[in-house]
Amino acid sequence: MTAALAALQMVSGADPEANLQSAARLLAAAAAAGARLAVLPENFAFMGAREEDKLALAEREGEGPLQAFLASQAEQHGLWLVGGTLPLAGAEPGRVRAACLVYDDRGRQVARYDKIHLFDVALGDDEHYAESQTVAPGSAPVVLDTPLGRLGLAVCYDLRFPELFRALVDDGMELLALPAAFTATTGRAHWEVLLRARAIENLCYVVAAAQGGRHPGPRETFGESMVIDPWGAVLDRVPKGAGIAQAPFDRALLEQTRAAFPALTHRRVVAATAGGPTV
């Protein structure tokens, strides 16, 4: 069975052209290995020293070199491509959408997901983030049909919000694509356990494509891109640096796991009540 699923790990910098060249090399290698679905990491085309630097690269949907690159790569290699995230212009001056665009194997854009949860956290005196200053949040979950199955989309910090993934699985999600740029600090603590939890609780494949190294300024990302099966087993991973985590997609395994362990059908939604349980 060919390695149908591919999570591409990058160490993107401030030179978009160099980043696109790196992405193109990884996509060519993934396609040569049999990828049918490839996922690029968050901010694949640009990671500058300051959050506001990305505003200069903002494109309108359907226009611009970054979108043209994704479309041409998907068509050239005949694969479905989840284009990490790129900055798309929104209605608010000074803020863009962190848009995850999906292209089919003919290079047509077939879906767009705007990152819902924005990374506004302080990890210490010298490490703090305020993504909402330059990014406006999305509001709508996205699941779409692909030749492999129903694909759900999420981005990086979304991973911490399980209610999003319940909404995706309620809409039929069988695979999850998760582009990310997890920090080294949070990645060491939580990345793998959260990814495996999302696979286990939703009985789905997870294709998690990360940034993995040092970027302009003080930022360091964790890496560990991986492909996980519906039982929570890590099928392949890339620790640090550029590379590809690849694994087969086994529909029979997905269906057998859901049939033998039907946790999704056992769900009971319990509404909270004021004052706790009655006796």
What are the residue numbers of the active site?
A: 42, 115, 156
* 168 alpha-carbon distance from chain centroid: 14
Count of other CB atoms within 10 angstroms of residue 123: 13
Look at residues 86, 156, 120, 128 and name the one whose alpha carbon lies nearest to residue 218: 128
Query: Quick one: tokens of 102?
Result: 């999906």
Q: DSSP alpha helices (H): ranges in 7-141? A: 16-32, 65-77
Count of other CB atoms within 10 angstroms of residue 179: 31
Rounded CA separation 24/225 (Å): 18
Count of other CB atoms within 10 angstroms of residue 277: 5
Phi (first) and psi of residue 8, to 5 degrees = -95, 125
Which residue do the tokens 């608010």 mark? 92
Cα distance from N-terminal residue to C-terminal residue, the chain: 56
Return the amino acid letter for 275. Answer: G
Look at residues 176, 170, 244 and name the one whose alpha carbon lies nearest to residue 204: 176
Q: For the CA atoms of 133, 138, 141, 147, what is the dihedral angle to 10 degrees?
A: -90
